[in-house]
Structure 1
Amino acid sequence: MADGISAVKSHLAPGRTGPSGAAGVRIAEIRPLTLVQFAAWPDTLAETGAEAAKAAGAKAAPGPGRAVTGTHGVLLRVEPLKWWLVGDTGEAPLPDAGSGAVLDLSQSRTRLNVSGKLAARLLNHVLPIDLSDNAFPENSVASTAFHHVGVTLWRDGEGFTVFLPRSFAASLCEILTESAAQYGLEIA
């Protein structure tokens, strides 16, 4: 699959802005993105979850609001009846739908990594959820709103990964980078 044109490239010129000293926030677009959605019906939840886990190379599908890492990518439980298989190869071979529906969403989202000691504080400017370590620990996943736009947030080992709808990615990225400048922003 071709790696499409970045929706945020013009907003993420490498460099540093804000106060001198160590950057409190780092933002980077992660490309290429592989994103495959597994959707179940209520009566096929367990079977579809097992199929998603197998595709990810994980022992079991994660519960609601959680993520697990497998040998083929990370499996996020983004909604009660949906999982996303996230990878970084740019290739999205679709497994057999089996008991649910499988859809390639790779070109529909922009993936940003937001990290640094002030990343949670920055994201709390725009996301209505508690991002403290106790309330939103590593491998937590949330579907939430960012300026009235639905986004998905995952806390990974390096900070936070935000999946933005491609059509809103440029404007949301601009809000993030302008807000991050007060903390010292490094764009990778």
Structure 2
Amino acid sequence: MAEWRSALKGQLPLGKVGTSDGIGVTFSEVTRFSLLQIAAWPETWKPAGAKAARLAGTETAPGPGMMAQGAKGTLLRIEPLKWWLISRDDRQNRISLAIEDGVVLDLSSSRTWMNLNGPNATHLLNNFLPVNLSDTAFPTGSVASSAFHHIGITLWRDEHGFNLLLPRSFAISLWEQLTDSAAQYGYEVI
């Protein structure tokens, strides 16, 4: 297996930046994770969703635009017939489906996973994303695919804040835009 490497290595100097008013946004990169895409056919989405839920350790698969946190990972419903199973364990068991039931694709090396939280995280993200991220429109458990400067990203909100999956090849560019804008709120990289 290839050695895992951060797309943001050298770009994430730890510490505080910005205003003296405090920290408005906290950033961190999740390293060494597993991301599996589970795609079903129209007639097999229920059994494929049930298998995805078992793999995540949840009772049921989430509906479109929602996530479910389980004992083994987070299951994101990114499209009507697709789930992403993401786990902080980069050695997650690889699964397979019979071709008549669906298809599994390992996307682990294709994305950079970033956490954002803090009192100004919503304001920061709304500078870039055409999604209403207010608590009422995008509550905990919500998932969205959106565009960040014409680049497709996946975003979800959990009890700790926002999570972004950025395409690996664009991670540095998007990171620079986020941190440049976050300086107005004060930010910390942990």
- Give aligned pairs, total: 188
Alignment match, 1:146: 148
Normalized against structure 2, the TM-score is what? Answer: 0.96
Partner SS, residue 76 of structure 1 = strand
Q: Given residue 44 of structure 1, which amino acid in structure 2 is its aligned partner?
A: T
Contact 1:32 1:88 in 2 (8 A): yes
Alignment match, 1:43: 43
Contact 1:58 1:69 in 2 (8 A): yes
Q: Given residue 109 of structure 1, which amino acid in structure 2 is its aligned partner?
A: R
Q: Given residue 84 of structure 1, which amino acid in structure 2 is its aligned partner?
A: W
Contact 1:2 1:90 in 2 (8 A): no
Cα distance, 1:80 vs. partner?
A: 1.4
Normalized against structure 1, the TM-score is what? Answer: 0.97
Pairwise mapping of residues 20-99 of structure 1 onto structure 2 (< 5 A)? 20-98=20-98, 99=101
Deviations 1:110-151 (A, max 9, x none): 000010000000000010000000000001000110000000
Partner SS, residue 9 of structure 1 = coil
Q: Given residue 135 of structure 1, which amino acid in structure 2 is its aligned partner?
A: A
Partner SS, residue 10 of structure 1 = coil
Distance 1:11 1:159, change over 3 A: same
Q: Could you tell which deviates more after superposition, 90-99 or 63-72? A: 90-99
Identity across aligned pairs (percent)?
Answer: 53
Q: Given residue 30 of structure 1, which amino acid in structure 2 is its aligned partner?
A: V
Q: Given residue 48 of structure 2, which amino acid in structure 1 is its aligned partner?
A: T
Distance 1:37 1:83, change over 3 A: same
Q: Could you tell which deviates more after superposition, 119-128 or 98-107? A: 98-107
Distance 1:3 1:152, change over 3 A: farther
2: distance between equivalents of 1:16 and 1:124? Answer: 22
Cα distance, 1:54 vs. partner?
A: 1.1
Deviations 1:16-40 (A, max 9, x none): 1111132000111011111111001
Q: Which of 165, 169, 172 does residue 170 from structure 1 map onto?
A: 172
RMSD of aligned alpha carbons: 1.1
Q: Given residue 45 of structure 1, which amino acid in structure 2 is its aligned partner?
A: W
Q: Could you tell which deviates more after superposition, 146-155 or 10-19? A: 10-19
**Which stretches in structure 1 are left out of the alignment for 5+ residues?**
none
1: distance between equivalents of 2:92 and 2:50? Answer: 18
2: distance between equivalents of 1:67 and 1:2? Answer: 29
Cα distance, 1:2 vs. partner?
A: 5.3
Cα distance, 1:94 vs. partner?
A: 1.6
